[in-house]
Structure 1
C-alpha cells in the first residue's frame, strides 16, 4: 500500500502546473491591457490571497484528511447537508471548468500546428479523451508527469521573462486614472489563478505522512507560483511587450527563444492545461467515488482499478465533458459562459470551506485569514453572473432549506 502513496515533490507536481494552468498564459497580457501599470498590484494582491487560501486549506486538509477533501471538515463543522451542498458546487464546477481549460489548450495547438484546418472543438475532444485515459494510471505516475511538465513550464516562462526584463526594458511608471470597478473585475478574472487549492484535499488519503508532506508541498508550490506570477506579469508590464503575435506572451519569450517562442508557448500552455485537467478531474472523481458509497443507486461509481484510480467516476466526468464540448461545437454555449459558471461554483465551494475553517481551527491567525478571505470571496461571488447566483441559491434551498421544511412538517404531523 505504501508504494501507492505520494511524497511532497509528487504532490507539488499535482499542484504547481494546475494552479498556473491556462491562466498564466492568458491573463498577464489581458490584465495589463485592462489596468496598465496597476496590473502588478492586482497580481500581488491575488498572489497574497492565494497563499493565505493555500495555508487555510492545508491546515483543514491535515486535520480532516480523506477522499472527500474539504468536505470532511465541512461535515464536521456544519453536518452532512452542507457537506453535500459544497460537494455539488465543486462537482458542477468540475463539469464545466475542465472543458474551458482544454479548449484553451486546443486553441494553442490549432494556432501552432493546424491554422484554419481543424476545428478547435475537435482538438479539445481528442485531448479530453486522452486525459481521461491518462487518469487511469497510478497517482504516483500522474504526480511525476505533472511535476515534469510544471518544471519545464516554470523554467521556460521564468527564464524568458527575466531575460526580457534585463535586455528589453521598456514601459513607464506613469499611472492612468484608477477605477475601482475595473480593478475589482480584473481581480475576479485573476481568481482563476487560485482555483485548485481546495481540491488538494481529495488526494490526502494517498499521501505519505500527510501532516509533513502536505505542508511541504503547499509551501513549495505557493512559493513557485508566486515567483512565476510576479516575474511574468512584470515582464509584460516593463518590457517591449508586443500584442500583435497570434499567441500571447510570444513578445516576452521572443528575445530569448526567437522563432521557437510560438512552439514553446503552445507546448507550455497545452502542458499546463493538461495538468489542470488531471488535478481537477482526478480529485473530483475521488470525491464522486467517496460520496457514492452512501447512495445505493450510484454505488457503481465507487469502483476502482487495482492502482486506486476510480475509473467509473472518471468515465462519468469525461463523458459529461465531451457532452459540453459538443454543445460548444454546436454553439449552444460558449467557453466564456462555462468559465463564468465554473468560477462561481468554485467560489461557492471555497466559501463553505472557509466558514468551516473559521469554526474548526483554533489558531487566531488562521481564523483571521479565513474571515478576511470569506469577505473577499463573497464580494467576488456577488460579481458573478445573475444566472450563476440564481442556480447557487436554488440548489442551497433545495438541498438544505426544502429538506429542513419537510422535516419540520413531518414533525408537526407526528404530533
Structure 2
C-alpha cells in the first residue's frame, strides 16, 4: 500500500477540518455526558479532561503519520511499514469491520433524540438508524467532494449550535451539583474514560483520508490543530454544563434538557436536528475512510480483490467497499432490532477496536517518525493508548478475534500479487 505521489488531491484545509471535526466531534457529545455522569458522578469531568490531554499527542501523532505517509490504508499502512504484512492485515480487518458495527451505535444516539421528540419508541429508533446509514452511503457514493462540501456546512452549523447551548446554560450553573465530587471513586472515573473513548475516536480514521488532501504535508497538520481547539472547547463546555446544570437529573437527551431549560420546550426539536446532523457528519467521515481502507487492503490481497476492483485508475470512489460497509451496518441494525437489543449494544466492542487501533498506530509511529517532538508525541500516545485498552477490558478481545480471522483468511487463500499502477503498488485515494 505504498502510495504514489498525492498531487491532485481535492480536499482543502477547511473541508479536511470539517471531516476531521465530524469524526471526532461525533454523536457521542449528545449522550455520553450523561453516561459518563452515571459512571463517575461529577468526577466524570476528570475523565473528559484526561482524554482531551491525551488527544493532543494522539492527534499530533496521526497528523504526522498522515503527512509523511499519505495513503488510503491509514493505520493498516503504518502497521505494514513498521511491522509487516500480517500486522497490517489484522489491524485492517479489525478496523474495517468495526465501522459497520459502530455505525448503528452512532446513529442510535441521534435516533433516541428523534424518538424522544416525536414520542416514538424502539421502532422509530430503528427506522431512523436505517435511514441515516442509507443517507450517508448515498453521500459517499457521490464522491469525496460532495460529501466534504456537505460536511463543511454541517460542521459550521453544529459548532455554532453547541456553543450557543454552552453559553445559554452557564447562568444556570448550580455548584451543589458538583458535590460530592468523587461519588464512585477513581474506578468510576476509569469506567467513564472507557465509555468516553468513543467520543475521542476519529483521529485514526482521518489517516485513511490523508491522500485526499491537496497538500498533505502542510494541510493535515492545520486541519488537525483547528479541530483540536474546537473539540476541546465544545467537549469540556458541554460536559461541564451537563454536570453543573442538570446534575443527577440528566436524562438520555441532555442537550435537549439544556436548551429547553434556557429557551423552553420549543427548543427540543432543535436538539433533534443537532443530533441528526452530528450523526450524519460522523458516519460520513467513517464511511469515507473505511471504504478507502477496504479498497487499499484489497489491492494487496489482504481482503477480497473484488472489494477494490472498481477503483480503476485510482480516481473513482471505492463504491464496492462502501456498499459492504453500509450493508453490514444495516445488517447489524436489523439484527439488533430482531434480538431486542438496544442500538448501543456494541458500544464497548467498537471503542475496544478504536483503542486497539490506537495502540498499533502509535506503536508504528514510534518506529516510523523521526526523533524530536514527533517521536515524543508517539511514545506518549502509545503509553496512553495501552492504558485505554486496559480500561476497555474484555471487549478488546473482539477486534483481536476479527484480526485473527482476517489473518487466517489471507494465509489460507495465499497472498495475491499486488496490482501495479505505473510500476508501483498504490492506493493514493480516489479523486472523484
> TM-score if structure 1 supplies the norm length?
0.88
Equivalent residue number for residue 368 of structure 2: 360
TM-superposed deviation, 1:344:
1.3
Equivalent in the alignment of 1:292: 298
Change (3 A) 1:272 1:76: same
Render the CA deviation track for 1:258-282: whole Å, top value 9, x for unaligned. Answer: 2332111111111111111111111
Partner of 1:389 in structure 2?
397
Q: Distance in 2 between matches of 1:244 and 1:206?
A: 41
Aligned to 1:410: none
Give a deviation string over 1:211-237, Cα, whole Å, max 9, x none: 111011000011000000111112123
| Cα distance between partner residues in 1 of 2:150 and 2:224 | 18
SS in 1 for 2:253: coil
Q: Which residue of 2 aligns with 1:55?
A: 60
Does the CA contact (< 8 Å) of 2:41 and 2:182 recur in 1?
A: yes
Moved more, 247-256 or 182-191: 247-256
Structure 1: 5+ residue runs without aligned partners?
407-415
Per the TM alignment, residue 7 of structure 1 is displaced from its structure 2 partner at its CA by 0.6
Counterpart mapping for 1:103-122 below 5 A: 103-113=108-118, 115-116=120-121, 118-122=123-127
Between the aligned partners of 1:350 and 1:178, the Cα distance in structure 2 is 28
Match of 2:219 in 1: 213
- Structure 1: how far apart are the matches of 2:399 and 2:15? 37
RMSD of aligned residue pairs (Cα, Å): 2.8
The within-5 A match list for 1:10-409 is 10-113=15-118, 115-116=120-121, 118-165=123-170, 167-172=171-176, 174=179, 175-176=181-182, 179-239=185-245, 243=249, 247-295=253-301, 298-302=304-308, 303-304=310-311, 308-331=316-339, 334-384=342-392, 386=394, 388-389=396-397, 392=400, 395-396=403-404, 399=407
Closer, same or farther: CA 176–259 of 1 in aligned 2, 3 Å: same
SS of equivalent to 1:249: helix
SS at match of 2:254: coil
Tell me how far 1:391 sits from its aligned partner.
Answer: 5.7
SS in structure 1 of the partner of residue 345 of structure 2 = helix
State the alpha-carbon separation in 2 of the partners of residues 252 and 108 from structure 1: 13
- The C-alpha deviation readout for 1:34-87, integer Å capped at 9, x for no partner, is 333322222111111112211110001111111111322221111111111111
Whole-angstrom distance in 1 between the partners of 2:307 and 2:411 = 25
| SS in structure 2 of the partner of residue 115 of structure 1 | coil
Shift in CA distance, 245/316, structure 1 to aligned 2, threshold 3 Å: closer
Shift of 1:334: 4.5
Q: What do the CA deviations read for 1:160-203 (whole angstroms, capped 9, x no partner)?
A: 211221x2231235434562211111111111111111111111
Is this contact kept in 2: 1:61–1:70, CA < 8 A? no
Instruction: Note if contact 2:90-2:402 (Cα within 8 Å) is conserved in structure 1.
Output: no
Q: Which stretches of structure 1, 4 residues or longer, exceed 6 Å deviation after superposition?
A: none
Alignment partners' CA distance in 2, 1:344 and 1:159:
33
Distance 1:384 1:117, change over 3 A: closer
Q: Which runs of 5+ in 2 are unaligned?
A: 1-5, 415-432
Task: Report the alpha carbon displacement of residue 92 of structure 1 after superposing the two structures with TM.
Answer: 2.1
Classify 1:16/1:340 alpha carbon distance in 2 versus 1 (closer, same or farther; 3 Å).
same
Cα distance in 2 between the residues matched to 1:385 and 1:160: 34
- Contact 2:130 2:330 survives alignment (8 Å): yes
State the Cα distance separating 1:248 from its structure 2 match: 2.0
Contact 2:112 2:125 in 1 (8 A): yes
Residue of structure 2 equivalent to 1:411: none
**CA pair 272-297 structure 1, distance change in 2 beyond 3 A:** closer
Q: C-alpha separation between the residues in 2 aligned to 1:205 and 1:238?
A: 42
